[in-house]
Every structure is written in C-alpha cells, then in structure tokens.
Amino acid sequence: MRDYLSSIIKQFRYYKELADKTFDQINDTDIDWRYNPESNSISILAKHIAGNLRSRFTNFLSEDGEKNWRKRDDEFVAGYDDKKELQQSWDDAWRILFSELDALKESDLNRIVYIRNQGHTVAEALNRQLAHYAYHVGQIVMIGKMIRNEKWSSLSIPKGQSEIYNKEKFGKEKGRRHFTEDL
C-alpha cells in the first residue's frame, strides 16, 4: 500500500504538470477562449479544479469533502482575471492536496471519508479525485492545443517520434519504475 501512495502522488503531480505546461504556452487572453458559448475555458476549468481541490482536501480525513462554503456553480460562471491569478489559485489549491497526501499513512487508506455523505475508503476517494482531475486536465490540454495549433509544444511523445521514443525506452534495462520519472 505504500507503493500505492507513492504512485498516486506521482499521478496527481503528473496531471498538475500537464496543466502547468499548458498554462506556460498560453497568455492572458487565451485563458478565456471557448470553442462555443456552452464550452468551458481553461480559466473556468482551472477554477473548478481548484475549488474541488480545496473542498475535497481541506480537513480531508475529518470533514465531508463537499464543504458548505464551496460555491460550485460559481466555478463555471467566470474564471480568473489573468494568468497570474489563475496560476496562484491553482498552485495554492494543489498545495492543499499534496500536504494532505504527504501526511497520509498506509493505515489511513482503508479509513472512511465522505463526499456528500457517501462513504469512500481513502484509496477510493483518491482514485475518484484522480480520475476527475485527469478528465478536466485533458480538457485544458485540448483547449491549449486548439488555441496554439501548429505552435503547440507536445506534452508527450510528439507525432512521428514514437519509434525514436520506443528505441530509447527499449534500450534501457528492464526495471520497475514509474512512467512519470522519465518526463
């Protein structure tokens, strides 16, 4: 189970990093770009994830993950004024998560925590949140790619580079390691 904690922390860091690398490629105007009026912008998605992180992981082991002070609907109305504000709020919210994760012990993984009065083991709650953030970070990345178009810098294996990438990977000795260690 200690391996689980280490792995899930790396996974959360990976998805934060994907969004961070997307933020690095966009400007203040880009954060509010929407494909259509019904779509979310990068700013709105970042605000939603930050609100969710704060709610779920403030007093993670002792309070329901849906806090009464959270205004979820407001997260989808307007985003941030500029990229600096977005990144500050984003980083502050992720610090709450990583602080809670760093404090977890193996014995905590089977404890029950609640989200809207639904009981989850800590491991289940972490899996739930990782999937939620991966879903929205994927949207952030996709919007970034749409905005940047041919100026987009790939966050994974660039098109046409799979053979080179695989040759490098298969050139290493087999061993147990986390895929995020090579990013």
pLDDT in tens, 17-64: 999 999 999 999 999 999 999 999 999 999 999 999 999 999 999 999
Nearest partner of 18 among 150, 144, 182, judged by Cα: 144
CB 96 within 8 A of CB 53: yes
**Interior CA angle at 6 toward 10 and 125, to 5°?**
85
pTM beyond 0.85: the answer is yes
69/172: higher pLDDT: 69
Tens digit of each residue's pLDDT (9 = 90 or more) over 127-183: 999 999 999 999 999 999 999 999 999 999 888 989 998 998 898 888 887 787 766
* Strand extents, DSSP E, 18-129: 112-115, 118-121
Question: Average pLDDT of 8-21?
Answer: 97
Q: Is the pLDDT of residue 1 over 70?
A: no
Tens digit of each residue's pLDDT (9 = 90 or more) over 77-136: 988 999 999 999 999 999 999 999 999 999 999 999 999 999 999 999 999 999 999 999
Confidence class for position 2, pLDDT limits 50, 70, 90: low
- CA dist., res. 125 & res. 166, Å (int): 34
CB 176 within 8 A of CB 5: no
CATH of domain 2-182: 1.20.120.450
Helix (H) or strand (E) holding 126, with range, is helix 122-148
DSSP designation for 41: P
